[in-house]
Amino acid sequence: MAAAVLLALAFTLLGIQNASAAAGSILTSVEEVDSKTRLTCTLNQRPTEIAGHRWIKDGKVVKEDTLAELSTQYEVDMKDRSGNYSCIFLPESVGKADITVSGRPRIKVVKKSAHADEGETITLACKSESYAPIIEWTWYKKVDSGNQLITNGSQNKYFVNSSETQSELTIKNLEVGSDRGTYVCNGTNSEGSDEATFTVRVHSRLAALWPFLGIVAEVLVLLTIIFMCEKRQKPSEELDDDELGSAPLKSSGQVDSKDKNVRQRTAT
């Protein structure tokens, strides 16, 4: 009985070793070449025919080929290198290895600017697509005297909600004078820090009335011009009436002169 158990165990171990050999082991390396970071995966044996290679970063396929080589490489810019990588020898049963590359965070924003009316609420969001994860998020506003630090709950209008990959700043009851301007989101991990900026514009409640007020102003200007033109025409009209009244007197004088000449000729 004991011999049968030992025999079954031996066959089990043999099967595990064969499976491990079939999958093969992969050696990985990370090296910096000029301005690039080169990732290399090397299969230490060829258990079966290799149909190609596939590289994945953070769950997305970034490279794939159909080469039958025992080694595959992937190069990435230094500033974009951080993340979780996987090299896969195809078919996938041949072998797979994971490589984690750390680097300074790269902070990105969802929207670079935000527009709202006074009294409203806006939310600014930034995220990090790098590894290692962010250990500290910092928000501040640029003012003339420097950087004004913003903390969660400050002034009962600023609220910060953060995780390892994202941070949000909510500003309530916006004010035209104090809340518009440039805001900064800063993220720090074990390799360094990075930041991104936002532009916030706050419009007055009267802003929606400006087009209407503009039209009213144009109408008032037009009416003023018409009134002034009419006022300038009135003296000219009165002068015309005087000239028309003196015209018959001049005509009568001419008739009397003609009658006098006729009488003189008759008397002669």
Per-residue confidence in pLDDT tens, the chain, 268 aa: 333 333 333 333 333 233 233 345 899 999 999 899 999 999 988 778 899 999 999 899 999 999 999 999 999 998 889 999 999 999 988 899 999 999 999 999 988 999 999 999 999 999 997 889 999 999 999 999 889 999 999 989 999 999 999 999 999 999 998 999 999 999 999 999 999 999 999 998 766 666 767 788 888 888 888 888 877 776 655 555 555 555 555 555 554 555 555 555 555 5
Question: Greatest CA span in the chain, whole angstroms?
Answer: 182
Q: Give pLDDT, residue 1.
A: 39
Q: Give pLDDT, residue 13.
A: 32
In the numeric block, the tokens 């970034």 are attached to 62
CA proximity to 74, closest of 101, 47, 38: 38
Q: Give pLDDT, residue 65.
A: 97
For the domain with range 107-206, which CATH number is right: 3.30.70.360, 2.60.40.10, 2.30.40.10, 3.40.50.10470? 2.60.40.10
- Residue positions counted in the chain: 268
Helix (H, G, I), strand (E, B) or coil at 93: coil
Just give the CATH number of 25-101: 2.60.40.10
Q: Give pLDDT, residue 67.
A: 95
Can you tell me the distance from the alpha carbon of 109 to that of 161, in angstroms, rounded to the nearest whole number?
15
Can you tell me the distance from the alpha carbon of 93 to that of 91, in angstroms, rounded to the nearest whole number?
5
CA proximity to 74, closest of 104, 130, 25, 60: 60
* Predicted TM-score of the model (pTM): 0.62
Contact in structure between 46 and 31 (CB atoms under 8 Å): no
Other Cβ atoms less than 10 A from the Cβ of 26: the count is 22
Considering the chain, tell me which residue range(s) the CATH 2.60.40.10 domain(s) occupy. Answer: 25-101, 107-206
Q: Give pLDDT, residue 208.
A: 60
Q: Give pLDDT, residue 161.
A: 97
Other Cβ atoms less than 10 A from the Cβ of 187: the count is 29
Sheet with strand 71-77: strands edge to edge: 26-33, 36-43, 71-77
Can you tell me the distance from the alpha carbon of 181 to that of 168, in angstroms, rounded to the nearest whole number?
17
Q: Give pLDDT, residue 24.
A: 58
